[in-house]
Structure 1
Amino acid sequence: MIAAQPPGAPPGEMTHRRLRDDILFGHLPPGGKLRLERLRDDYDVSVTTLREVLARLVAEGLILFEAQKGFEVAPISARDLREISEMRILLECHAVGPSFAAGDLEWEAAVVGAHHKLARMEARMLAGDRSDTARWKRYDREFHVALISACGSAELLAAHERIFDRFLRYQVLLVMFRGTVAAEEHNALLAAALDRDADHARALLRDHIGACIDYTVQNGLFGKSPGAAA
């Protein structure tokens, strides 16, 4: 799970979270057909609620809909990953400036705490333990969100959340762990944040996010993943 669902949340919100997480973490594979009757049984929710949830996921870019074919999980492709990566770079590089400028001691503590969890998980993965990919990506997400959390724009943070989750899906499906290099980049981003060096952080983010594209191509990961488009 990316985040815990608040107690007492409406059924539509709960179903949206569950379906979204199942897509992000590959339980519903790219290109897979989504049958309303099967989903109704699997998620124990009405067809009316399902239609509303699926429409939201279409808007978020995680599901496709065609009149004659119905709903299906969005496929993955190198082109789509590149577009998502470029948008993520744009959003994060814009947000670090105001976030670093406005961040207070509580913000620093949140950034340091998020990095600590991520660093511990990366150390486990470097030691060969790849058993908890979901937790690794949750901590990665928390760290990057913490960096820009003081930017002062709710709209920017919401747009970043949507783009980051689509990027995260690729990282999970393709197991895009770049090892020591990625961990060192996160260390450098932490240092830049604490130094309030937004220019250095922007340069690091461009390299850090862009390198994921090169990594997938060089290692032929799209050819190993079901549901990948040409």
Structure 2
Amino acid sequence: MAKPRAPELYKRLRAEIVLGRLAPSQRLRLEDLRTRTGSSVPTLREVLTRLSADGFVIAEDQKGFMVAPISVENLRELADLRKLVEMEALARSIEAGDMEWESRVVAAHYKLSRSEARMQAGEAAARDDWKRYDWEFHQTLISACGSRELLSVHAMVFDKYLRYQMLFLTFRGGIAQAEHQALREAALDRDVASAQAILSKHIEGGVAHALAAYADRERAG
């Protein structure tokens, strides 16, 4: 079987970190990763170095690599950065988006709303679908912004922010559903101010929910 190439392995390990399958502060032992992924040690070093440069992994002198830890301060910083980047990209996208963009927004929201309904019904298996479609919806909303660099920065920040949501399963139920619906409508109505206000409230609500879950985990030990 062919060994995975560095770009493929990067995506896989980054996804495992974002989805919480590799836990915060977990040691990343090269031999364990080599056995599990079928990759070579040089390729693993290359990938882990790139993940370190992107902030998903910490490289420690003489100690190897570990998954980046989590903290309240980091979550708040990521939320502020996400708002800054996503609100700018959203405004540009609403102003420039064409009919094809509108149809993609509608389709992305449909998938998200269906997965949210499954989450509301208590389907644990819907967890990964819910976050994938949440990511897709927000990415689609800003996809017409006209800036690859802005989209790239947003994808990086969103994944780091998403990691906290996946760790604490911070689904806010009907509140988040209503915000997504309102965000879709404001975007399709080309109402930049309303869309940005809804997005800001949506992100702040998610942070508050995640912080409450984080505090509960800390109290539980």
Q: TM-score, normalised by structure 1?
A: 0.91
Alignment partner for residue 51 of structure 2, among 57, 69, 76? 57
Query: What's the RMSD between the two structures over aligned residues?
Result: 1.7
Letter in 1 for 2:97: G
Identity of counterpart residues, as a percentage?
50
Alignment partner for residue 28 of structure 2, among 27, 34, 56? 34
User: What is the match of residue 80 of structure 2?
Assistant: 86
User: What is the match of residue 70 of structure 1?
Assistant: 64
Higher RCO (C-alpha under 8 Å, 6+ residues apart): 1
Runs of 4+ in structure 1 displaced over 4 angstroms? none
Alignment partner for residue 221 of structure 1, among 214, 217, 221? 214
* Maintained 8 Å contact 2:58/2:66: yes
C-alpha distance in 2, partners of 1:76/1:223? 15
Name whichever structure is richer in helix by fraction.
Answer: 2
CA 82–138 in structure 1, closer or farther in 2 if over 3 Å, else same: same
Aligned length: 218
* Maintained 8 Å contact 1:174/1:222: no
Q: TM-score, normalised by structure 2?
A: 0.94
Unpaired segments of 5 or more residues in structure 1? 1-7
- Identify which range, 159-168 or 54-63, moves more after superposition: 54-63
C-alpha distance in 2, partners of 1:104/1:66? 47
Alignment partner for residue 160 of structure 1, among 154, 158, 175? 154
- The DSSP-based 3-state class of the residue aligned with 2:125 is coil
Letter in 2 for 1:207: K
C-alpha distance in 2, partners of 1:105/1:220? 40
User: What is the match of residue 143 of structure 2?
Assistant: 149
Q: CA deviation at 1:96?
A: 1.4
* Maintained 8 Å contact 1:24/1:172: yes
User: What is the match of residue 95 of structure 1?
Assistant: 89
C-alpha distance in 2, partners of 1:14/1:216? 30
